[in-house]
Structure 1
């Protein structure tokens, strides 16, 4: 199955409907699809064209999502579909997120098939990623429900670009999330992503104030676009004041891709500088990503400074947690931890589910 009738829309006139899933609020004539390309008007009703279909599956370490405070070292089954509701010029999964051909959806899998596969291959979680799961909300929701029957957790990797109406339902069945805060300026969101900043901040506030979802934030720093001291200072002050000091923040390095081939790679020192600014503003758990930086990717006790979790890329080393607390001073580490970490390591295993 790949086409189902879905919600989050209202009728306009002359067989036109308006989508209410994301802040774009696309107005669609009969036969027309939204910017995401996977939701469209068919006979005056909204349909999702990618239900039960994926552009690929892979087992990853949970740290690759990235989540550093959620079941460290455990394997996650990752998958996405096609399309996206943002138009980021730097998209690093553009072959999937910008796809307009349904043949990109090579693998088919029902929610129960996915849950059983996770159980059989000892995946602790399933991640909706590669493209934004907001646009295939109903599929992600059904997969999450099926996975919970098998004690498998659900992780949303999302830009958080969703309406107030749809947001509660999307996150209702999610256990963890990584929200991509792409910048802290309206200029960047409009010029580079074809979107706006406010709905993403609303998503972060909603997760913090109205849910028990464990979430972390990632910002990809692009030279001369969103990497100034002033913008990083403003963003991290907002995070501290509105979400508190314990939200993990990941600064990730950009590499040229899709429509931003003219930009250089992000220097490692830019990530280190951003990390220092964030920590100066009171954030306790700030990480560098897409660069080899053991110091910047490891976790430390904010109270006594002891290294709690050592990370070398995605490989875990030193582990100084007991019952989720620092073995040195007893300070709790915010997150979801077990007595020992998983041993999946940096291994990335592509999988094929068709026929499971």
Structure 2
């Protein structure tokens, strides 16, 4: 596997005046030094054929944008171990896209064959990167619904459902794997190639779990909670409100209790509480225009006494008293 990206910076053999005490070189790695008035950068990488393991260290003196030429399309897991500010990686039109790297957040990204722009703020940065050669991924290795295979098959399609967020936490488990890579895979030795691939696949499997078993389910739950909320609003906002909210949208065939839990999780109140808030707001407005009996029917109550009891339970006063006090 050849290195897949080239920094468009002035490359030198060694720093004459290092801006900080950089980490000791990783034994067995290929190393590049770059020095410009606004940035010093060290790249180190080891090639294990199917995967590339690399570390980037940078000191940035002033806000800047650097360019990287990507020679091919690859899949990366990026882990900013140290980052004084967010790192923005942007690809311009005609296929504009952007990802953000935040300290402590591992980011899975497909890096396209293109010119990329990296925006950096003053500070120090250390990034571990793991790159997998998508050309080596075959259906015998990954099942058809594996997220890497899905990315490969859907290059020209909307990937929103496959890639919902630019970042997600993988926390200590990822960092431990990266530390193990440093300790075990440097210096390079061809006998370690299988172990290198195994470790990187493990990291991508962690990413898959976080992205598709946790994040996406949360996303689906949030969308469902929003649909239920809209359903309740639609019921209440009818000219004659329908108070029955026992049949919210439910394509997943979940029980009413499950739907209620999902709604409360994302809206911090029960479905009944939200319905009653909307009914009360509607009643207060209508009481300024109509008598209590009409408002009761507009709000979905067949009996005036039931509406009066509802209004009293919410405000501690009767609707007739509220109407008189606001005339």
Q: TM-score band (shorter)? A: under 0.3
Q: Which has the higher contact order (CA 8 A, sep 6+)?
A: 1
TM-score w.r.t. the length of structure 1 is: 0.24
> 1 or 2, which has the higher helix percentage?
2
TM-score w.r.t. the length of structure 2 is: 0.25
